[in-house]
């Protein structure tokens, strides 16, 4: 009986320690954490550029600001994407902000030269090796866009 309790105890302890092991770093672990909880109204004249597909704006929030991009006009929760402007190549350099390029599709850190796609923050070219941080951007299909992490 004591032997069964001992074995069960070892199994439980092993499960607890296995569950507490250090997780692998995610693609954004090199960027500081900043709480984001922003609501904007895309139909407001202030956000005129977000009323059409391909429209984008810079807004405050996150670590170095956020890029909001409109992917579709289907009036679904996934119409928009919100991307952190902090470069994953130089996350500790506040001047290494990601900027939308004239093609309105490419994002570039002008210090390191790294490039990403605006539709999902995926890396196009380095020296950066990580995608940009995405925030949850939920559109209610009417006039409210909520951006959170």
Taking CA atoms, 3 is separated from 8, 13, 16, 146, in Å, by 9, 15, 20, 55
- Report pTM: 0.79
What sections of the chain are H helices per DSSP?
Answer: 2-19
Task: Report how far Cα 56 is from the mean position of its chain's Cα atoms.
Answer: 15
What residue ranges do the domains of the chain occupy? 2-148
Q: What is the pLDDT of residues 101-129, one digit of tens each?
A: 999 999 999 899 999 999 999 999 889 99
Each residue's pLDDT tens digit, 2-17: 555 555 554 445 444 4
The span from the CA of 124 to the CA of 112, in Å, is 13
Fold of 2-148: Rieske Iron-sulfur Protein (2.102.10)
């Amino acid at each position: 009986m004591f032997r069964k309790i001992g074995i069960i105890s070892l199994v439980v302890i092993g499960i607890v320690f296995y569950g507490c092991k250090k997780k692998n770093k995610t693609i954004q672990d090199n960027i500081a954490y900043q709480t984001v909880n922003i609501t904007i109204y895309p139909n407001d004249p202030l956000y005129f550029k977000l009323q059409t597909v391909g429209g984008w704006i810079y807004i405050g929030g996150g670590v170095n600001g956020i890029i909001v991009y409109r992917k579709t006009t289907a009036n679904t929760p996934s119409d928009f994407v919100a991307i952190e402007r902090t470069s994953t190549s130089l996350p500790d350099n506040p001047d290494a902000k990601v900027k939308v390029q004239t093609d309105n599709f490419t994002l570039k850190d002008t210090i390191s030269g790294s490039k990403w796609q605006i539709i999902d923050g995926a890396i196009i070219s380095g020296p950066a090796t990580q995608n940009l941080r995405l925030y949850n951007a939920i559109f209610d299909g009417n006039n409210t866009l909520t951006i959170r992490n």
